[in-house]
Amino acid sequence: MHARAGKGGDGSSSFRREACVPEGGPDGGDGGRGGHVIFKGSHDVDSLIALYFAPQLFAEDGVAGRGQKMYGRRGEDLIVRVPCGTTVLDAETGVQMADIVDHDQEVIIANGGKGGLGNVHFRTSTHQVPTEHTPGDMGEEFRLRLELKTIADAGLLGFPNAGKSSLLACVSDAHPKIASYPFTTLNPIVGTIRYDDFSQLRVADVPGIIEGASAGVGLGIDFLKHLARSRVLVYIIDMAGTDNREPWKDYLTLRREIEQHNAELLERPSLVLANKMDEDAATENLPKFIKKTKVTPLQISAIDADHPGVAQFKQRLWDILRPQPRGEWRSPVVAGAAEVMPATDAEFITEDALKLAPFLDLTRKVPKKKK
Ligand SMILES: Nc1nc2c(ncn2[C@@H]2O[C@H](COP(=O)(O)OP(=O)(O)OP(=O)(O)O)[C@@H](O)[C@H]2O)c(=O)[nH]1
Ligand SMILES: [Mg+2]
């Protein structure tokens, strides 16, 4: 991206000229500040594609000052909405300039130039006819590189065909492609699990990992950067060994590959799921898995939304993460509050509405009814 903040408006050089006011003195006003380029995190944007097609981010210049001590108007800030999880880097030096994580988080990436000074500022007792004025400063200008690391609360990890996408489709409202060949999923996909209390958790499905992935085999392991920000890692093991692999070896291989990529990921809280428990082979493989890995996995079947393991999985995730309801989306929970709009005129305030006053900030009194 090419980001350029607005230039400050120039200061003006002017003198007061008016009938009956001889030698009115300097009255040139200052220029306005140039607009900033501001990046703002937003839940409503989920990729950087729009910026890819419009890579020039130029904020408006400030307006020059004028006579009669008039200040120039400030240049309008350019607010660029980016998905939460965007890292902004200086493309030339590689230095990180901002890390936008939260909704509504704003970071000024390029500061607008300061406005110039008008000639009113240069008058002194011995210099009463100043013509000096200063030009506005140039705005900051950068070449930027943006990187998006998906922010999800939980990340799904597993071999190809383990059933990661099936599980995501089963618990969330995402529609990932599901098929019985390896590497069906080529890009990370995020789905949202919604709970009965309206809280939400985001789960990321990433492409499958195979032995040697950390050395670039298969799709490699680069996409694991998307999991670097998830708070829980969920290992999905194909317990039925559909592709003629040993489930316990799968688990150990996965951990080894992740360790090669980023050992810190292994210390994250994790859940291990034994998938495809509807198949007989899975029931046979389970005791061996537990014996070899000393891990007791949660048993699920990702193709069956009513399988008790699926509900348990959702509950366990919730227990670990305890999501906070998204404040900005929720109004005070009061029966009927949604129907009562904050009144602008005293006539419209009823007694019922006044009961809701603490929530709606109604401070006016109830008018007495005319008999
Ligand atoms: N019997 C059974 N089959 C399952 C289960 N879960 C997934 N499958 C099947 O396993 C195959 C692979 O499922 P996906 O969800 O695409 O697997 P994935 O882990 O996303 O695979 P990649 O995207 O290739 O890494 C599909 O044919 C699914 O129908 C399960 O619980 N039981
Ligand atoms: Mg998949």
The pLDDT tens digits for 124-172 are 999 999 999 999 999 999 999 998 877 788 889 898 889 999 999 999 9
User: What is the length of the chain?
Assistant: 371
Q: Whose CA is nearest to atom 16 of ligand 1?
A: 178
Beta 37-42 vs 78-83: how paired, if at all? parallel
Residue type, 209: I
Q: Which amino acid is at 274?
A: A
Atom of ligand 1 nearest to the CA of 279: 1
pLDDT at 350: 44
Residue 274: name the closest of 285, 263, 259 by CA.
285
- Ligand 2 centre and the CA of 88: distance in Å? 29
Shared domain for 173 and 81, answered yes or no, is no
Q: Are residues 67 and 204 located together in one domain of the fold?
A: no
The one-letter amino acid at 130: P
Specify the ligand 1 atom closest to the Cα of 177: 16
CATH number at residue 81: 2.70.210.12
- More reliable by pLDDT, 323 or 267: 267
226 Cβ partners below 8 Å, 6+ apart? 149, 150, 152, 155, 188, 204, 206
C-alpha distances (whole Å) from 207 to each of 61, 119, 164, 286 are 45, 64, 9, 24
Q: What is the DSSP letter of 308?
A: H
Same domain, 201 and 133: no
Q: What's the CA-to-centroid distance between 150 and ligand 1, angstroms?
A: 23
Give pLDDT, residue 82.
93
Our count of domains for the chain comes to 3
Same domain, 42 and 140: yes
Alpha carbon of residue 322 to chain centroid: 19
Q: Which one of the ligands is nearest to 207 CA?
A: 1
- Report the alpha-carbon distance of residue 204 to residue 183 in Å, rounded: 16
Work out which ligand 1 atom sits closest to the CA atom of 302. Answer: 31
174 lies in some domain: yes
Domain identity same for 91 and 184:
no
Amino acid at residue number 303: I
Q: Which ligand is nearest to the CA of 313?
A: 1
Which residues form the domain of 270? 154-321
The answer for 255, left when phi > 0, alpha when psi is -120 to 50, beta otherwise, is alpha
| pLDDT exceeds cutoff 70 at 334 | no
- Using the atom order of ligand 1, give the atom closest to the CA of residue 277: 31
Inform me whether the pLDDT recorded for 178 exceeds 90: no
**Secondary structure letter of residue 193 according to DSSP:** E
Is 16 within 8 Å of 157 (Cβ atoms)?
no
Query: From ligand 2's centre to the CA of 44, what distance in Å?
Result: 24
The larger pLDDT score, comparing residue 221 to residue 30, is at 30
Decide if 335 is inside a domain: no
Pocket of ligand 1, beta carbon within 6 A: 158, 160-166, 178-180, 182-185, 207-208, 275-276, 278-279, 301-303
CA distance 115 to 29: 10
Q: How many CA atoms are closer than 13 Å to the CA of 198, on its beta-carbon side?
A: 8
Assess whether 80 and 176 both reside in one domain: no
CA distance between the termini of the chain: 69
**Which of helix, strand or coil describes residue 237?**
strand
**Closest ligand 1 atom to 160 CA:** 25
Per residue in 49-86, is it b (16+ CB within 10 Å) or e — as a string?
A: eebeeeeebbbbbbbbbbbebbbbbbbebbebbbbbbb
Q: Which whole number is the average pLDDT over 39-54?
A: 88
Same domain (yes/no): 162, 306: yes
In degrees rounded to 5, what are phi and psi of residue 257?
A: -65, -40
| Closest C-alpha residue for ligand 1 atom 9 | 163
CA-closest candidate to residue 232, choices 324, 176, 314 = 314
Q: Which of 18-32, 172-186, 224-238 has the highest mean pLDDT?
A: 18-32
The answer to whether residues 229 and 303 belong to one domain is yes
User: pTM to 2 decimals?
Assistant: 0.66
d(CA 155, CA 59): 38
> Which of the 8 DSSP states describes residue 244?
S
Q: What was the pLDDT predicted at 369?
A: 62
Decide if 332 is inside a domain.
no
